[in-house]
Amino acid sequence: MSPLRIDILTLFPEMFGPLLGTSIPKRAAQKGLVSYHLTNLRDFATDNHKSVDDRPFGGGPGMVMMCQPMFDAVEAIERLDPRPPMRILLSPQGKVFDQRLAEELATKDRLLFIAGHYEGFDQRIIDGLSPIEVSIGDYVLSGGELAAMVIIDSIVRLLPGALGAEEGAADESFADVLLEYPQYTRPREFRGMSVPDILLSGNHQAIADWRIEQRKKRTQERRPDLWQAHQREVTP
Ligand code: SAH
């Protein structure tokens, strides 16, 4: 399989270096599972001031990202590779990102993330480029960069081979709607707190049952919304 190609269009490419050069995102690239390509939107400004934003028609605060640099940049990026990317525009007004969408995006062969800044995008960028709009939650960030990084990190760790065998993603929270069970490591006793006996029993079936019970209990207590979804899944 050819590696997933991730293009990122941003005014702040330097924000991505530390993330993409660390831990699992870095290792996945070294293993040839993914490649990252950063493009600075500023390079597509055509006037002397290198403008990429302007004041909103109709008045109001802030600056709006202009059409021309954005369209030129997207078209130039897309010419770099014959595979057409799925265009993903970061926006607090988008579909709220979740593990299901991460799993779907991890099956694509090319993704283009478009990060906004300032007040947001000229509506014609959205109408003309028809990206999917994705939000990472109901709060407003200064720019789409952190949102793109959150999404990229969650996708890359799903690529087959990205996690070592010892790290598997299958049991994790959200993989099947339930949250993960509590984890313990050495020592057995710490400041009077001990590891549940069952985990030391060596009885694999009993441990598996206990973990499932813990997952249900936690999900019920902490995330009634997920618990409802789980109930609907198991009893359609
Ligand atoms: N005025 C806009 C917000 C602009 S925030 C509005 O009210 O909808 C500036 C940029 O940050 C956005 O264009 C988007 O790219 C990014 N951004 C902010 N919050 C985000 C979120 N929750 N999820 C994804 N991107 C976000």
* 139 CB burial (10 A radius; 0-12, 13-18, 19+): exposed
Q: Scanning the structure block, which residue is given the tokens 């988008």?
A: 94
From atom 18 of ligand 1, which residue's Cα is the shortest distance away?
Answer: 141
- Distance between CA atoms of residues 73 and 56, nearest Å: 21
Residue 167 is predicted with a pLDDT of 63
Among 9, 53, 91, 101, name the best residue to mutate to test ligand 1's pocket (greatest count of ligand atoms within 8 A of Cβ): 91
Closest ligand 1 atom to Cα of 139: 22
Q: Is residue 226 within 8 Å of residue 178, measured between CB atoms?
A: yes
CA-wise closest residue to 141 among 122, 121, 117? 117
From atom 11 of ligand 1, which residue's Cα is the shortest distance away?
Answer: 143
Question: 234 phi and psi, to 5 degrees?
Answer: -85, -25
Taking each helix axis as running N to C, give the angle between helix 145-156 and helix 23-30, from 0 to 180 degrees, rounded to the nearest 10. Answer: 60
Residue 165 is predicted with a pLDDT of 66
Q: Is residue 75 within 8 Å of residue 133, measured between CB atoms?
A: no
| pTM to 2 decimal places | 0.93
pLDDT block averages, 10 residues each, the chain of length 236: 93 97 97 98 97 96 97 98 98 97 98 95 98 98 98 97 75 83 97 98 97 97 94 81
From atom 16 of ligand 1, which residue's Cα is the shortest distance away?
Answer: 144
3-state helix, strand, coil in the chain (%, to 5): 40, 20, 40
Q: Compute the distance from residue 184 Cα to the ligand 1 centre, in Å.
A: 38
Residue 2 is predicted with a pLDDT of 86
Three-state SS letters, 158-182: CCCCCCCHHHCCCCCCCCCCCCCCC
**Which residues' Cβ are closer than 6 Å to ligand 1?**
90-93, 115-117, 119-121, 135-137, 139-141, 143-144, 147
Residue 185 is predicted with a pLDDT of 97
Residue 166 is predicted with a pLDDT of 55
> Can you point out the beta strands (E) in the chain?
4-10, 34-40, 53-54, 64-65, 86-96, 110-114, 132-135, 189-190, 193-194
